[in-house]
Amino acid sequence: MDHDVEPSWPEVDSIWRRFLAEYRSAEYQTDPNAAAVLLPETRSQLANVQRGGWRWLYFALTRGSARGEPLPSTREFAQTVLRDAGPHLTHLLPQLIRAAIYEPNPSFNRRHVEPAMHAFGPRAVNEALLEYLEHGTGQEKAGAFRALYWSEVLLDERTVRPASPFSPLWEAHTDLADVWARKHTLRLRLIEEFVANEDPVARRSLATEVCFDAALYPESLRHLVKRAIEIARSHPDPFVQDWVVAHLEPRFVTVQLPDGPTEVRVLTSRREAPMPPPTNRQDCN
């Protein structure tokens, strides 16, 4: 295969299924040296992020394999390959982080973040994202904060729910206390970018990440909240207008469904589209 040509997904799947089959054979034969022979090959495949290997391994991490079979050995294979590749391919971390930040779909950015977490470790990934959160453009800051959702080490790998204090993940979380403190501080400072950046597109990206509750800000930033609300209310995109209204002025009505119990809905002042009831305060943690 020509290494300068990006392979099709069936070709990618075929390559990595061959690696997986060889890994399983070595695993079942309890021969660790046989599995190690694969690593230079898998490392070579991962050296170019455009060749599909990172994406295939993401599916292996989250679904068992690229076709969805929930086989534990598939996930173990992906973890082994990524842990091996990370120290050799550190130059790829910025590419994966940038891809995650510029991914417009807030769910698809996980495809870049999760493999990077296994390859380079949570500290390197979080610090790279926080650099964008601190020094990036308005859109980059919003993209970085969305990507940070998947870099939280307390998320259980299988359920994507917070792990318990008795989980090994809890210790990993406490080891990164300085990272989480920096993340919280930079999250609060997003309101400065929202107010100062006059680009409507950047403000739309930032709107869903900005806190609009003055009580949650330190005194030094509290004066910006009123201005941020005014900007959001007058934004040319109705989505931004509805977003701030839904968080500041929720109105509840009770609707009797024909064949079931009553349902509580939230109506915004601009539209009567059903929305989930928000909490009393927007979470700024």
Given a cut of 70, whether residue 179 has pLDDT beyond it is yes
Domain encompassing residue 175? 90-210
| Residue 185 is assigned to a structural domain of this protein | yes
Domain count, the chain: 2
Given a cut of 90, whether residue 190 has pLDDT beyond it is yes
Specify whether 101 is located in the same domain as 179. yes
State the pLDDT at residue 203. Answer: 93
Give the span between the Cα atoms of 93 and 57, in whole angstroms.
15
**Who contacts 118 (Cβ-Cβ below 8 Å, separation ≥6)?**
61, 78, 79, 82, 83, 86
- Which of these three, 52, 72, 88, is where a domain ends? 88
Specify whether 84 is located in the same domain as 48. yes
Specify whether 70 is located in the same domain as 105. no
Given a cut of 70, whether residue 257 has pLDDT beyond it is no
Name the 3-class secondary structure at 248. helix
Given a cut of 50, whether residue 94 has pLDDT beyond it is yes
| Residue 216 is assigned to a structural domain of this protein | no
Name the 3-class secondary structure at 1. coil
Give the span between the Cα atoms of 97 and 268, in whole angstroms.
36
Given a cut of 90, whether residue 28 has pLDDT beyond it is no
| Residue 218 is assigned to a structural domain of this protein | no
Q: Which residue has the higher pLDDT, 253 or 144?
A: 144
State the pLDDT at residue 259. Answer: 53
| Residue 194 is assigned to a structural domain of this protein | yes
| Residue 125 is assigned to a structural domain of this protein | yes
The closest alpha carbon to 188, from 212, 171, 162, 205, belongs to 212
Q: Which residue has the higher pLDDT, 252 or 110?
A: 110
- Per-residue pLDDT band for 36 (boundaries 50, 70, 90) equals confident
Give the span between the Cα atoms of 237 and 204, in whole angstroms.
8
Given a cut of 60, whether residue 156 has pLDDT beyond it is no
In the chain, the amino acid numbered 245 is V
Residues 110-132 pLDDT 10s? 999 999 999 999 999 999 999 99
Specify whether 96 is located in the same domain as 206. yes
Give the span between the Cα atoms of 110 and 132, in whole angstroms.
17
Can you tell me which residue has the tokens 């080891």?
175
Residue 104 is given by DSSP the state S
SS3 content of the chain, % helix, strand, coil (to 5): 65, 5, 30
| Residue 28 is assigned to a structural domain of this protein | yes
Specify whether 157 is located in the same domain as 72. no
State the pLDDT at residue 96. Answer: 96
Neighbours of 53 (CB within 10 A): 25
Q: Kindly report the pTM of this predicted structure.
A: 0.77
Residues 38-86 pLDDT 10s? 899 999 999 999 899 999 999 998 875 445 554 678 888 999 999 999 9
The closest alpha carbon to 127, from 191, 169, 180, 188, belongs to 180
The β-bridge partners of 155 are 162
Specify whether 79 is located in the same domain as 137. no
| Residue 241 is assigned to a structural domain of this protein | no
Given a cut of 60, whether residue 245 has pLDDT beyond it is yes
Give percent of the chain with pLDDT exceeding 70. Answer: 74
Specify whether 134 is located in the same domain as 151. yes
Give the span between the Cα atoms of 29 and 207, in whole angstroms.
54
Specify whether 99 is located in the same domain as 191. yes
In the chain, the amino acid numbered 214 is A
Please check whether residue 45 is in contact with residue 15, taking contact to mean a CB–CB distance below 8 angstroms: yes
Given a cut of 70, whether residue 157 has pLDDT beyond it is no
- Which of these three, 210, 244, 275, is where a domain ends? 210
Specify whether 94 is located in the same domain as 196. yes
